[in-house]
A and B are shown apart, each in its own frame.
Chain A
């Protein structure tokens, strides 16, 4: 199902990735009101189609709709899942617990089951099909037009999207303060990468939430992840540990990040990062 502006374009993309039928509605209510219109649409489609499994991405908007829908249908729900398989008449999914320290195997007992899959859990593979697009026959009632999105403010001005970057350079407390984050941006520019951050520095207001990597932020899976001044709390590492290569720069040799990095450098980030930027530029120009 694709709802709101751009639903038809999304349907075509979904078709290329294997969807057979996509139900669409471009009613502006789906963009203008939080959760309730989409919950109505899904509940009404559920009544018609009676699927065994309803899948969502574990994204902020989806999880709100999924929660309301589960309560309305009385459905079993598995959130933040890494995968899902059919087993013994139900569905079982692997779910990270305690910020990723443990993995629980959870079973949804009833039908329908609602499962939310963590972004980046699967590689998106385009198979080149075409989906049948069905117009959703749903009228959003005024009773569901309550939490009104009156204004949208874009704060991020990232050149490279964090989730799509081949290289991510993230900073934590060890950067010393927001005044030093431009050092990471300069390195990111030199490498064609994006800048991320730990939750600690986002909560401290050094950088916007849009840069946060981890359990409560974005999940990334770049070719190279450079963690600068980040200790490596589970909360953070669950969002980046599937990166192909991890490089950590930290003054503390005992930091948890050092135990998962392919290369750990113990030293002063504020000296190493500018020197690295200069070396990268020199290599590119030479």
Chain B
């Protein structure tokens, strides 16, 4: 899809951020681009931790990004609209899923990717001590499921049935 190089990492949020910060520092970037959160843990914590460790300002939840020289400007999504947020680079931004459709990997791109460098580095090579994890998972259980209720085919009587449920719930 386009990146020149890729690196791999994996751990709790703070250790992830420490490893990423150490690796990113070596690249001296103007702009670090993250997603808002991962799908598994959904903690959303790595980007602000990374910004703090790099000493960068953070411009987050961007649904639009403009870079003009050493100024980065984003439209930061909020609960009721958006904010225009500006900072000087170097900076870290997080972008929402709505910012762009990922382009399809072309056959040419897939072929070219094979020859691109993927650096595997040990945390210790980056000078990151693993130490005691900040958090540990004690157990994982299936989320409590709601019980299924009644399912009806709409044969013209569905509206009446919904009205009855609304009345019983005292919202009508």
Using CB atoms and an 8 Å cutoff, list the residues of chain A in contact with chain B.
Answer: 34-36, 39, 60, 63-68, 70-72, 74-80, 92, 95-110, 146-156, 166-167, 191, 193, 199, 202-203, 205, 208-210, 215-216, 218, 223-224, 226, 241, 244-247, 249, 253, 258-268, 271-272, 275-276, 279-280, 283-284
Contact = CB atoms under 8 A, between A and B. Distances in A.
B52 A72 contact: yes
14 contacts: A34-B60, A60-B61, A64-B48, A70-B14, A102-B141, A106-B137, A149-B84, A151-B83, A151-B84, A249-B158, A258-B148, A260-B146, A266-B151, A276-B159
Nearest to A93: B135
Nearest to A61: B78
A117 B101 CA distance: 31
A96 B142 CA distance: 10
Interface stretch (B23-31, B36-44, B105-113, B119-127): B36-44
- Tell me the dominant secondary structure on chain A's binding face: mixed
Contacts of B137: 104-107
A103 B48 contact: no
Interface of B: 13-14, 17, 36-37, 39-53, 57-61, 63, 75-88, 91, 96-98, 132-154, 158-163, 165-167, 169-172
Contacts of A92: 138
Contacts of A109: 132-136
Contacts of A268: 154
Contacts of A267: 153-154, 158
- Tell me the dominant secondary structure on chain B's binding face: mixed
Contact of B135 (A107, A253, A258): A107
Q: For the complex of A and B, list the 6 residue pairs with the smallest distance between their C-beta atoms, beginning with the closest.
A: A267-B154, A67-B48, A146-B57, A79-B43, A76-B134, A262-B149
Contacts of A148: 85-87
B60 A64 contact: yes
A271 B156 CA distance: 10
A211 to B, nearest CB: 10
A80 B42 contact: yes
B83 A153 contact: yes
Contacts of A75: 134
Contacts of A100: 143
Nearest to A78: B135
A191 B60 contact: no
A215 B84 CA distance: 24
B140 to A, nearest CB: 5
